[in-house]
Amino acid sequence: MSFSWLTCSLLLGTLCAGYSLGEAETRECVYYNDNWRTERTNQSGFERCEGEKDKRLHCYASWLNSSGTIKLVKKGCWLDDFNCYDRQECVSMEENPQVFFCCCEGNYCNERFTHLPDMIGSGNRVKIRPPPRVPSLLNVLVYSLLPLCVLSLALLLALWMYRHRKPPYGHVDLSEDPGPAPPSPLVGLKPLQLLEIKARGRFGCVWKAQLMSKYVAVKIFPFQNKQSWQNERDIFLTPGMRHENLLRYIAAEKHGTNLETELWIITEFHERGSLTDHLKGNAISWNELCHIAETMSRGLAYLHEDIPSYKGEGPKPTIAHRDFKSKNVLLRDDLTAVIGDFGLAVRFEPGKPPGDTHGQVGTRRYMAPEVLEGAINFQRDSFLRIDMYAMGLVLWELVARCSEADGGEYMLPFEEEVGQHPSLEDLQDVVVHKKMRPVMKDCWLKHPGLSQMCETIEECWDHDAEARLSAGCVEERIGQIARTVSSTTSDGPISIVTSLTNEDLPPKESST
């Protein structure tokens, strides 16, 4: 037995030597970038490939073919991708992609690129394949002497590759249930690579991915959550859903078959992550608080609004989010808020039922009293007021981390009262029966801006749903507070331009 393993080990070294003879190691690739002016890079040249020691490196090329006219898009180094293994020539095998893509191994192997569709045509056309590689004499000798050893090594290598691979951008298939593929110029483009998991939740996980030259977010649902994926996709495809404070949609896809099916939603990517992530690691200044709060309320106000036909699009209906919380608010680099995660959202279109309006949905901690109590009036305005209760809690999270309010350690709403993992009964007792809300500290009320922000928060989470402010009113109020109360620095003195009273604040708006 020991002799057999010793023999395998010696031949493994021999095999590796044969491998290196048959496949040149990729260290440099031909580089080209058609978008070099915008991205501020070199237009062409050579690129030195770098990566982790246990990862293989490749070269790639991508191009367009418009009626026989070839337009080169990009060339360069490519990360470990099992689709590129053992390819000495850069050959695109897809029949008619929107963007042609090929990859190969070996220095400068992407200097030339070819399109050889793997198909059998009619008439005089024949089956075209890249020329087969001639195995080296050493490889033939090794495979002949120890086929069992080589097979074992191959199986171990395949298992390692399966566990460490990053799935490439697969072919789009939405022809099956649930519904047709949304029109998108980016569907089917290569290359897209999943890079790292950024978040996990009840739906699945969110990956940071690279699509051509930019980063995108890929939200992956298991097939069991098909309804949530389909609902979020349909909300994104609703006319009028493009707004600077709503997450920008790119595409939806379906990957795999049967129980291994994954459902993808591809959106823009925000490096800062969610508002929860930012507040955990950072106190915020008064001006940052106002900017985040105003843009967040602007996004929710737009979501809640009925908008008539505009620029050829159909009318945008009122949409209730139903899972509004700081984790579902993303931040751009300039701290502008962007609302995402529409898996539980519901549309209210004239003459149509709103769809699934099951009462107790969302995140328990952010549920309004009427939701916890199971006493919802299933009308449009009732669902909007549920969002506004949650908005009050998120505004409280912002105020609690403001440097003007001592910027204490980050805490979730009601974390002090019921801990980090409250049961439904815990929240019913605190929110419904005792009518408690997160604590407003005395020092907040001494700050002229924070005190007015606290008044707005209290009117958002009012126990009486009909007394709550609308999102549009919150946006106006925060804008007015920000304009009249400013801080010269995050720690500096407060400059009062005008003293506001309740009579000066914008009136409550009806959400009808």
Residues with a known catalytic role: 323
Q: Which two tokens stand for residue 60?
A: 């790639």
Residue type, 385: R
- Residue matched to tokens 């009122």: 318
List strand residue ranges (DSSP E) for 52-116, in order: 58-66, 69-78, 90-92, 100-104, 113-115
**Under a CB-based contact definition with an 8 Å cutoff, are residues 245 and 338 in contact?**
yes
Q: Which two tokens stand for residue 186?
A: 């980016």
Distance, CA of 250 to CA of 252 (rounded, Å):
7
Q: Angle of helix 147-164 relative to helix 2-22, nearest 10 degrees? A: 70
Cα–Cα distance for residue pair 7/14, rounded to 1 Å: 11
User: What is the DSSP pairing of strand 90-92 with strand 113-115?
Assistant: parallel
Per the CB < 8 A criterion, the answer to whether 297 and 478 are in contact is yes
Residues 229 and 252: their CA atoms lie apart, in Å, by 9
Beta strands in 142-296 (DSSP E): 192-200, 205-211, 214-222, 249-255, 262-268
CA distance 320 to 391: 12
Give the separation between CA 95 and CA 101, rounded to whole angstroms.
Answer: 11
b/e sequence 384-400, b meaning 16+ C-beta within 10 Å: bbbbbbbbbbbbbbbbb
Phi, psi of 63 (to 5 degrees): -155, 165
Chain centroid to CA 211: how far?
A: 13
Integer Rg of the chain from CA? 29
Q: How many residues does the chain have?
A: 512
- Which pair of structure tokens corresponds to residue 496? 């009062």
